[in-house]
Amino acid sequence: MALSGLATTYRGSGRFRDAERLGREVLVLRTEILGERHPDTVAASNNLAVIYRDLGRMEEAKQLQESVLRLRKEILGDQHLDSLKASHNLAATYSDIGRFKEAEVIQTNVFNLMKQLLGERHPDTISAANNLAITYSWQKRLTEAQLLREEVLRWRTDILGERHPDTIAASNNLAGTYRDQGRSYEAKAFYSSVLRLRQEILGEEHPDTMSARYNLALSLMELRELDEAKRLQERVVGWRKSTLGERHLLTINAMLSLSETYVLLLEMVHALATLNTVERAIAETLGEAHQHYRWCIELKNRALGWEDFQSNLASMFMQTSTSYLQRMG
């Protein structure tokens, strides 16, 4: 239990690699001592899957979660709360890897069963509603996502209070839907509130605080408040590179976003330096067929195009000046 608790502490403080190391150790020990089907072993598999998600290792998370769901259904039955939670977790991973229809089917079933078994204001029912809204968002069903997320925020505020981490997460998610709908000023207001609360409650360097900075910066970009967006993005990129590494998906996302801000500010030297780094990271991890690689190359071409334009403009100016001076002489 001590190792498991320490792994949870590491995860909560953003030390994901340390959490993974301990999580794997706990799973090996419980499998050897208790066997694969013991509830504590299954719980250890579930916890390790959550850490894999934190690290962006979705395929490994999916495999563990599928195993957890199979075992819980076999041992506890389809409608046991632990089986429903396992379905809920697997569906979230399916959504993250683009298997939206499968995710939606599972999440709708889980949400309906939890409402029947626990009531609509139970925390687990609210979490199921939240995950279903995430899948709606991925599918661009924004009105459905907005309505469900507004309900989730209302429930969590009433039950948990506005400073509870789950309530803050609900505010963050609703802000994301508003941004997707083009309601940038509303999104900015929510994201600013989320960042303020996470700074106060979790501290400046917590992963969730960094995510809040990243999200606020995206809204600021859309509103063309670029200097403030750049300030936030540079801090996020620095933290993610040192904590997660350059090849982590969250770091790649942050570097691409910062590069776009540099391009919009016409800071092409900084843009190209960042893009050269992120291009290598994407090629080595996601591959050159991935949409992130195409985005990177598009930004790079824009930056190089501007540099060529400036160079040609300078050359034209020099030729004109030289010709004028020759005439004057």
Domain count, the chain: 2
Residues 267, 40: Cα–Cα separation, whole Å:
53
Q: Report yes or no on 321 lying in a domain.
A: yes
In percent, the amount of the chain with pLDDT more than 70 equals: 89
What integer pLDDT is reported at residue 322 of this predicted model? Answer: 42
Residues 92, 138: Cα–Cα separation, whole Å:
11
Query: Which residue, of 173, 201, 233, is where some domain finishes?
Result: 233
272: how many CB neighbours lie within 10 A of its CB? 19
Q: Is the pLDDT of residue 30 over 80?
A: yes
Residues 44, 141: Cα–Cα separation, whole Å:
35
| 175 and 224 in a common domain | yes
Q: Is the pLDDT of residue 299 over 80?
A: yes
**Residues 49-80: pLDDT tens digits?**
988 888 888 889 999 999 999 999 999 998 89
97 — pLDDT class (breaks 50, 70, 90):
confident
Joined tokens for residue 282: 């994407």
Q: Which domain holds residue 214?
A: 143-233
What integer pLDDT is reported at residue 26 of this predicted model? Answer: 87
What integer pLDDT is reported at residue 146 of this predicted model? Answer: 96
CA distances from 94 to 63, 101, 253 (A): 11, 9, 20
Mean pLDDT of the chain: 88
Whether residue 132 contacts residue 107, with contact meaning beta carbons closer than 8 Å, is answered with yes
| 312 and 259 in a common domain | yes
Query: Which residue, of 233, 263, 292, is where some domain finishes?
Result: 233
Q: Is the pLDDT of residue 311 over 60?
A: no
Q: Report yes or no on 298 lying in a domain.
A: yes
Residues 121, 52: Cα–Cα separation, whole Å:
29
Q: Report yes or no on 261 lying in a domain.
A: yes
14 — pLDDT class (breaks 50, 70, 90):
low
CA distances from 66 to 123, 150, 181, 312 (A): 23, 30, 34, 58
Q: HSE-up of 290 (CA within 13 Å, CB side)?
A: 18
What integer pLDDT is reported at residue 314 of this predicted model? Answer: 47
**Residues 6+ positions from 256 with CB-CB distance below 8 Å:** 278, 292, 295, 296, 299
Q: Report yes or no on 178 lying in a domain.
A: yes
Residues 220, 10: Cα–Cα separation, whole Å:
32
Q: Report yes or no on 89 lying in a domain.
A: no
The answer to pTM > 0.95 is no
Query: Which residue, of 169, 200, 233, is where some domain finishes?
Result: 233
Q: Is the pLDDT of residue 192 over 90?
A: yes
Q: Is the pLDDT of residue 122 over 50?
A: yes
Q: DSSP letters along 293-316, please?
A: HHHHHHHHHHHHHHHHHHHHHHHH
In percent, the amount of the chain with pLDDT more than 90 equals: 61
Q: Is the pLDDT of residue 325 over 50?
A: no
Q: Report yes or no on 19 lying in a domain.
A: no
Q: Is the pLDDT of residue 127 over 50?
A: yes
Q: Is the pLDDT of residue 83 over 70?
A: yes
Q: Report yes or no on 9 lying in a domain.
A: no
Residues 195, 215: Cα–Cα separation, whole Å:
9
| 198 and 256 in a common domain | no
What integer pLDDT is reported at residue 306 of this predicted model? Answer: 81
Q: Mean per-residue pLDDT for 87-97?
A: 87
Residues 8, 133: Cα–Cα separation, whole Å:
27
Joined tokens for residue 243: 């904590």
Q: Mean per-residue pLDDT for 179-194?
A: 95
Quote the longest CA-to-CA distance of the chain.
96
Residue 317, Ramachandran bin (φ over 0: left; ψ between -120 and 50: alpha; else beta): alpha
Q: Is the pLDDT of residue 279 over 50?
A: yes
CA distances from 104 to 61, 117, 138 (A): 18, 20, 10
Joined tokens for residue 51: 């850490």
Q: Report yes or no on 77 lying in a domain.
A: no
What integer pLDDT is reported at residue 317 of this predicted model? Answer: 46
What integer pLDDT is reported at residue 252 of this predicted model? Answer: 93
What integer pLDDT is reported at residue 58 of this predicted model? Answer: 87
**Residues 225-256: pLDDT tens digits?**
999 999 999 999 999 999 989 988 899 999 99
CATH of the domain at 161: 1.25.40.10
